[in-house]
Amino acid sequence: MRLIQFLLTGILFGIVMTKSEAISWFRIQEMFRFQSIHMYGIIGVAVILGALLHFWLKKTSLKNSLGKSFSFKDKPPLYKAALFGGTAFGLGWAMTGACPGPLYVLFGHGYWIIGIIILAAILGAFVYGALKSFLPH
């Protein structure tokens, strides 16, 4: 029962990603060429509304579904990792035209070739885990 909630949320996310067109390789091309407000508008609205949501959640006395207060852990202050890792991901984002969420959604559309990209991403995560101690963080 607990897991069904996440299945339904995932289904909603897959529909939202498709209808927002954030899964489109062409939209990502357009974004990195600054030729439309579309992707910036989506991310901008999500960040502004998300910031208001977090601001409210930190003040509210409401509890989450587990009966606990809302708490948020700070991201670790690993600025080199954020910059270098972020740049590596940015290269991959523009090459494939998709970030991780959209990869799964596109696979669900029946574009089986995307399965190759997902496998390559899993390999990339594995190589990162193997080389972690040699990389700047």
In the window 107-126, what residues touch other proteins (CB under 8 A)?
107-111, 113-114, 116-126
Q: Which is nearer to other proteins, 59 or 66 (CB)?
A: 66
Task: Output the six-digit token pair for 91.
Answer: 């290269």
Report the alpha-carbon distance of residue 92 to residue 85 in Å, rounded.
11
Number of residues that bind other proteins (CB under 8 A): 111
Q: Is 45 in the site for other proteins (CB under 8 A)?
A: yes
Q: Is 6 in the site for other proteins (CB under 8 A)?
A: yes
Among 1, 59, 61, 76, binds other proteins (CB under 8 A): 76
Distance from chain centroid for Cα 79? 19
- Taking only Cα atoms into account, the Rg of the chain, rounded to an integer number of angstroms, comes to 18
Q: Is 59 in the site for other proteins (CB under 8 A)?
A: no
Q: How far is the CB of 52 from other proteins (least distance, A)?
A: 8
Name the residue among 6, 5, 12, 1 with its Cα closest to residue 105: 12
Residue ranges in 20-39 that form contacts with other proteins under rule CB under 8 A: 20-33, 35-39
Q: Is 69 in the site for other proteins (CB under 8 A)?
A: no
Task: Output the six-digit token pair for 49.
Answer: 């509304």
Contact 29, 97 (CB under 8 A): yes
